[in-house]
């Protein structure tokens, strides 16, 4: 029987989708782990810090020329006053960079700084802004005011926004941890690989290995040496119990026993229960007494004895007494 190509294609598609769903569940569980979220957030934090520092340094570098021109006040080039004017803007920028670098760490761990830190930062920005736009305001140059106001204001905005962004990223990590703790996480199902199909041998039908209702080969009883179900109950140790010996039932019936006794009897032999048990080893004591009485009754015509001259039967107790 040849396999149905449509059924085989549908089975393979369903198995592929099942494996993709299991892998997606594993990926989602891993992506929602608090440690993974913290690592990704830390990578975003570093990227944001780099961009902020690049913008701040470029803005401070742009303002340095305007501040030097404002401080030189028309001094000849390369003169002492002209050279000293170049130190004014770096002096303010270095202090500002120190404050911003400290806020990078305090904002990371949500530590509030004092009023002097904020006052120092704002004083540095105001001084830079005034020295950059003084001449433009003096001459009423609107274009110059806009041009020289953008870099200082951008640096001020970046320095104020950077700590807030760091605090927000830290809060995002904290909320992710609380979300993972509050909600029960169901374990992801294991990704099961499809069982490898056994190599096809000549003479076997290929449809048996592709049909979904295929049952595995069951070995014959002769070759099945492993038990189908393990014994879960502990086996009790077998103790050798001594059973009482039972006497076997005497062979034959009453007539056969009497016939055997009659053949064994000889004239002059005393018929007693003990003699009957010697002839019939399997007979009981009560039955031996009955058979002895019956044998004597049968042998009376032969022996010619009567009840008067018949010798009294000697029992085992009397014989021992004699």
Average pLDDT of the chain is: 76
Task: Report pLDDT for 189.
Answer: 52
Residues 136 and 263 in one domain: no
Q: Among 136, 162, 182, where does a domain finish?
A: 182
pLDDT digits (tens, 9 = 90+) for 47-106: 999 999 999 999 999 999 989 989 998 889 999 999 999 999 999 999 999 999 998 888
Axis crossing angle, helix 88-108 with helix 34-72, rounded to the nearest 10: 160
Average the pLDDT over 280-307 and give the result: 76
Any domain includes 302: yes
HSE (CB half, 13 Å, CA atoms) of 207?
Answer: 7
Q: Of 90, 69, 253, nearest to 148 (Cα)?
A: 69
118 plus 16 within the same structural domain = yes
pTM of the model: 0.49
Contact 82, 72 (CB under 8 A): yes
Within-domain flag for 245: no
**Model pLDDT, residue 117:** 92
> Mean of the pLDDT values across residues 285-290?
86
Out of 19-33, 57-71, 228-242, 294-308, which region has the weakest mean confidence (pLDDT)? 228-242
Instruction: Based on the fold, state whether residues 267 and 158 are members of the same structural domain.
Output: no
19 and 146, same structural domain?
yes
Distance CA 15, CA 193 (A): 9
Q: Can you tell me the distance from the alpha carbon of 310 to that of 46, in angstroms, rounded to the nearest whole number?
A: 133
Are 310 and 176 part of one and the same domain? Answer: no
Q: Tens digits of per-residue pLDDT, 94-118?
A: 999 999 999 888 887 878 888 999 9
pLDDT grade, residue 11 (50/70/90)?
low
Instruction: Report pLDDT digits (tens) over 192-241.
Output: 554 555 544 444 444 444 444 444 444 444 444 444 444 444 555 454 44
Instruction: Say if residue 45 is in the same domain as residue 174.
Output: yes
Q: Is residue 76 part of a domain?
A: yes
- The number of distinct structural domains making up the chain is 2
198 phi and psi angles, rounded to 5 deg: -65, 150
Residues 84, 75 contacting (CB under 8 angstroms): no
Comparing CA positions, the residue from 145, 128, 39 lying closest to residue 88 is 128
Which of 163, 182, 201 lies at the terminal end of a domain, its last residue?
182
* Whether residues 24 and 143 fall in one domain: yes
In eight-state DSSP terms, residue 148 is H
Between 262 and 86, whose confidence is greater? 86
Q: What pLDDT, on the 0 to 100 scale, is given for residue 152?
A: 92
Q: Report DSSP state, residue 236.
A: P
Q: Which domain holds residue 131?
A: 7-182
State in Å, rounded, how far the first CA of the chain is from the last one. Answer: 98
Predicted pLDDT at 176: 82
Query: Of 161, 182, 203, which marks where a domain is finished?
Result: 182
Same domain, 23 and 145: yes
pLDDT classification of 264: cutoffs 50, 70, 90: confident
162-194 confidence digits (pLDDT tens)? 988 988 888 888 888 787 666 655 555 554 554
Q: Are residues 167 and 20 in the same domain?
A: yes
Same domain, 108 and 16: yes
Question: pLDDT category, 31, cuts 50, 70, 90?
Answer: confident
Instruction: Note whether 37 and 168 are same-domain residues.
Output: yes
Tally of residues, the chain:
322
Same domain, 129 and 272: no
Q: How many DSSP H helices and E strands does the chain contain?
A: 12, 0
């Amino acid at each position: 029987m040849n396999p149905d190509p449509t059924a085989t294609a549908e089975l393979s598609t369903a198995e592929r989708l099942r494996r993709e769903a299991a892998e997606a569940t594993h990926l989602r569980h891993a992506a929602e782990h608090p440690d993974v979220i913290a690592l990704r957030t830390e990578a975003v934090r570093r990227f944001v810090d780099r961009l902020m520092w690049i913008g701040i340094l470029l803005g401070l570098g742009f303002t340095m020329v305007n501040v030097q021109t404002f401080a030189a006040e028309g001094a000849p080039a390369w003169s002492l006053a002209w050279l000293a004017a170049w130190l004014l803007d770096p002096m303010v920028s270095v202090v500002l960079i120190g404050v911003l670098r400290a806020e990078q760490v305090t904002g990371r761990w949500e530590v509030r700084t004092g009023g002097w830190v904020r006052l120092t930062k704002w004083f540095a920005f105001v001084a830079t802004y005034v020295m950059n736009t003084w001449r433009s305001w003096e001459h009423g140059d609107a274009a110059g005011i806009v041009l020289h106001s953008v870099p200082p204001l951008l640096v001020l905005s970046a320095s104020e926004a950077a700590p807030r962004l760091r605090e927000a990223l830290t809060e995002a990590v904290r909320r992710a941890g609380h979300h993972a703790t509050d909600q029960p996480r169901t374990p992801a199902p294991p990704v099961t690989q499809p069982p490898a199909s056994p190599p096809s041998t000549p003479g076997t039908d290929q449809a048996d290995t592709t049909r979904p209702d295929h049952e595995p080969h069951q070995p014959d009883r002769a070759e099945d040496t492993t038990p189908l179900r393990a014994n879960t109950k502990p086996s009790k140790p077998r103790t050798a119990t001594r059973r009482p010996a039972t006497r076997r039932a005497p062979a034959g019936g009453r007539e056969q026993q009497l016939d055997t006794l009659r053949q064994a009897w000889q004239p002059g032999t005393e018929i007693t229960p003990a003699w009957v048990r010697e002839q019939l080893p399997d007979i009981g004591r009560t039955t031996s007494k009955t058979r002895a009485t019956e044998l004597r009754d049968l042998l009376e015509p032969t022996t010619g004895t009567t009840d008067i001259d018949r010798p009294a039967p000697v029992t085992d107790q009397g014989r021992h007494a004699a």
